Amino acid sequence: MSASSVTGGCQCGAVRYRVDGPLLGPHICHCRMCQKAAGNYFMPLAGAARADFSLTRGEPAWFHSSAPVRRGFCARCGTPLFFETVGFHEIAVTLGSLDDPAAVAPLRQYGIEAKMPWFGRLDALPGAATEDQQVLDGVPLSAIAASNRQHPDHDTEVWPPEDRR
């Protein structure tokens, strides 16, 4: 990845960040601790030099998943955002929290002992684009779109624009 700036944040927009430098060592971690932290089968991460990293809105909550490691997340919506080895010169950001996650492809995998054994078969599964579905779990997609509270994939002056609880 180039040294240009990247931005990202949580789903609700309460916590936003910026990296003014390269994202280092983009990877996927399959270890059981990352699975639990992400609530998913793996955690995609990339490092950033602390000097290049800044919070632009809000403050994350932190959970020490082990003595040397803490994980930052949004206390409001729960989005996993950061992985930090305390005292290390880098902080890792979750690649899914980037405003343009497709721009950073993982270059390595870790924790492969916990990797799901069926990952290699995913491309053979039938699939559909979200916009091609009319209903998701019994709810019309139009109702979901009309009440969407997700922060857009770019910085905003103010968020939320209105409180639509």
Domain ranges of the chain: 5-117
pLDDT, residue 1, reads 42
HSE of 53 in the Cβ direction (CA atoms, 13 Å)?
18
Token pair, residue 128, equals: 């559909």
pLDDT, residue 65, reads 93
> Mean pLDDT per segment of 10 residues, for the chain of length 165 residues?
81 97 97 95 97 98 95 97 96 98 97 96 90 77 77 84 59
Alpha-carbon gap, residue 28 to 34, rounded angstroms: 9
For 5-117, CATH number out of 2.30.30.280, 1.10.1760.20, 3.30.70.360, 2.170.150.70 equals 2.170.150.70
Integer angstrom CA distances of residue 149 from 13, 75, 137? 9, 16, 18
